[in-house]
Amino acid sequence: MSREPTASEHRRAAGSPRTLLRRGSAARGAGRARSRAVRHRRLVTTALVGVVAGLGLTACGSSTSADDKPAGPAAELRLGYFPNLTHTTPIVGVAKGYFARSLGSTKLSVQTFNAGPAEMEALVNGDLDAAYVGPSPAINAYARSHGEALRIVAGAASGGASLVVRPGIASAADLKGRHIASPQLGNTQDVALRTWLKSQGLTPSSATEPGDVNVEPTENATALQLFQDGKLDGAWVPEPWASRLVLDGGGKVLVDEKTLWPGGAFVTTHLVVRTEYLNQHPETVKALITGQLEANDWIAKDPAAARQVVNDELKRLTQKSLKPAVLDRAFGELTITNDPIAASLQTSADHAVAVGLLKKVDLAGIYDLRQLNAALAARKQPAVSDAGLGSGGS
């Protein structure tokens, strides 16, 4: 007598999260610098073709398989993050040793990235175990892997993203025919930029159409240089790059993203973990989160010292430190938080759907906050929840 395949058999037939993401991974530009606008348009076209081609998967919830039984503390935890102020939590956690001390015998290995899509590819390919990342890349990886690849286990930052433009640009209408950068195609700021342009009646460039506005995924440091050289009209970027465009590049803020969200609260950065790693090493994940809580407590208690630590780390990682004025302005735009601000996540997914970078996705199951709340309880701090998932909006 025939039987229906089990859920795990369906997942094996579909392929591993690594295989699924590879099928849908975006093609990226080969170079960091751009000397001509044409080169950027080719980069966008090439990348967008790859992203759109790979977004035919819809997420569904998943359950833990028999192969994912806890195996005790891990020998190593490989962590990804960005050299951006929106990643202040991991920068401080690594530099001050909070993560390493909390992890104990588990070796901490770190790697930095410029933007989320490449970081999520590394995570799903098994090259990272955990990562600090924005909502859009995490949602994309979750969707493409049928809900298998990752879980969001904690928040990290809210706010700290803006569209900065040349002084002569006074409104959305002035952006027609202009060249505006985002950190990487499909990353959180790229989705925010494309969503806002559409809300203003403007069409961002795509693989097949030039659009009203040329959206050009560009590494943050390169975007600043191009802006200073007069070869770029603006950029939607995270801190400290928004503040650098204002103070070092002579730009002005056209859109502060927090003004687009109820109460100004939206997730900019959260902590995600490979599902397999979380299932096998929950104690290690809890230890990492405990290190995060300690780092964030220290940041809140001594913000001036935290700024100096972050600035020293930025110099080590990027060979450049920030001017005091940039540092102060950028930190003033950010809220460091352990809360993942779940109510904003579905809206982020809806935005990606609306701009053609994602098919509709069911986010049920994307959060696993058990280790965070256990760590918070141990410190007598209030729990957080994923209540409101799907009810946020902007």
3-state secondary structure of 162: strand
What would the two tokens of residue 192 be? Answer: 């925010």
| Position 354 confidence tier, pLDDT thresholds 50, 70, 90 | very high
CA distance 185 to 149: 20
User: How many other CB atoms are there within 10 angstroms of residue 301's CB atom?
Assistant: 9
**Single-letter amino acid code for the residue at 286:** K
pLDDT of residue 184: 87
Interval 92-124: pLDDT, tens: 999 999 999 999 999 999 999 988 889 999 999
Instruction: Report phi then psi at 151, rounded to 5.
Output: -135, 145
Sequence letter at residue 294? E
The first and second tokens of residue 247, run together, are: 């103070």
Residues whose CB is less than 8 angstroms from the CB of residue 259 and which lie 6 or more positions away in sequence, other chains included: none
Torsion sign, CA atoms 283, 288, 293, 295: positive
For the chain, domain boundaries: 65-159+269-323+336-378
Please check whether residue 72 is in contact with residue 280, taking contact to mean a CB–CB distance below 8 angstroms: no
- Residue 113, classed as helix, strand or coil, is coil
pLDDT of residue 22 exceeding 70, the answer is: no
pLDDT tens-digit series, residues 152-206: 999 999 999 999 999 999 999 999 999 999 998 888 899 999 999 999 999 999 7
The span from the first CA to the last CA of the chain, in angstroms, equals: 52
Residue 345 exposed, middle or buried by CB count within 10 Å (0-12, 13-18, 19+) = buried
The dotted CATH code for 65-159+269-323+336-378 is 3.40.190.10
Are 328 and 308 in contact by the 8 Å Cβ rule? The answer is no
More confident residue, 329 or 44: 329
Judging by beta carbons within 10 Å of its beta carbon (0-12, 13-18, 19+), is residue 390 exposed, middle or buried? middle
Query: 320-352: per-residue pLDDT in tens?
Result: 899 999 999 999 999 999 999 998 999 999 999
pLDDT at position 386:
87
Query: How buried is 313 (Cβ within 10 angstroms: 0-12 exposed, 13-18 middle, 19+ buried)?
Result: buried
pTM here is 0.79
pLDDT tens for each residue of 295-328: 999 999 999 999 999 999 999 998 989 999 999 9
How far apart are alpha carbons 131 and 111 in whole angstroms? 9
For 201-286, strand residue ranges (E) read 214-217, 234-238, 252-256, 267-274
User: From CA 181, how far away is CA 140, in angstroms rounded?
Assistant: 20
